[in-house]
Amino acid sequence: MYYDTLLQAYLIGRLGEKPPHLSWLEFAQQHEVRVHRFKQNNLQRVQKVIGILQALWPSDLLDIGSGRGTFIWPLLDAMPHLPVTATDLDPEKVAIFHTVQKGGIDQLSGQIMDIAHPQSIRADIVTALEVLEHLVQPQIAIQNLVKMAQRFVVFSVPSKPDNNPEHLHLFTAKQLETWFFAVGAKQVRVEYVLNHMIGVVSL
């Protein structure tokens, strides 16, 4: 199962309209285009965050470290009218979001961004999912997240040790709460979902 609308937008943005006798998957295979990133996922932490966002009614959303779109595609599927800016350090990953936008998903935009540096962009809600544990100085990133968000920051991080060599930190809820409060958060609520913490920061 795929996120069909998003898959189609990606293929249109990259290859143009498909011949009428081909399915979208056949069209992708004919041109040797890999579309695995658009397979539907049911990750509990992703579904939990989407449920939180649906309750918060964001007017727009900025996602930090969007990567391959593990969160972006199910978010756009669940909230198809939400303006979303997907960001990443990797220009090739950001180019995927530009391609989907070009293919007709007008509410999606992509931007190269390094959360370790101050940014001028602002959004109603800012998400940082599976990002903070990768950063050398997560406190600086937290400060920038709070500056960019108008109402809420939503984050997720691992809650248990794992074998990912790119993970530099294992946080406690108290540690993260302290850092967010230090830069102006009014409330921090942390929940646990299958080896992960999900935090909702009110500003």
* Amino acid at site 135: L
Strand partners, 200: 154, 189
**Is 41-65+113-202 assigned to CATH 3.40.50.150?**
yes
Rounded alpha-carbon distances, angstroms, from residue 109 to 33, 52, 66, 93: 21, 22, 12, 12
Amino acid identity at 50? I
**Could you tell me the pLDDT band of residue 30, with boundaries at 50, 70 and 90?**
very high
Domains in the chain: boundaries:
41-65+113-202
pLDDT tens profile 80-131: 999 999 999 999 999 999 999 999 999 999 999 999 998 999 999 999 999 9
pLDDT at residue 6 in the model: 98
Which tens digits make up the pLDDT trace of 166-192? 999 999 999 999 999 999 999 999 999
Phi and psi dihedrals of 29, rounded to 5?
Answer: -65, -40
Q: What is the mean pLDDT of residues 51-61?
A: 98
**pLDDT at residue 130, as a whole number:** 97
- If pLDDT is split at 50, 70 and 90, which confidence band does 76 have? very high
Q: With bands split at pLDDT 50, 70 and 90, how would you rate the model's confidence at 18?
A: very high
Per-residue pLDDT, 125: 98
* Contact assessment for residue 55 and residue 80, using Cβ atoms and an 8 Å cutoff: no
Q: CA-CA distance, 134 to 165, in Å (whole number)?
A: 9
The 3-state DSSP class for residue 25 equals helix
Tokens coding 179? 């850092």
Please, which pLDDT band fits residue 49 given cuts at 50, 70 and 90?
Answer: very high
* DSSP SS3 for 12: helix
The reported pLDDT for the residue numbered 16 is 95
Question: What is the C-alpha to C-alpha distance for residues 115 and 82, in angstroms, rounded to an integer?
Answer: 22
- Average pLDDT over the chain, rounded to whole? 97
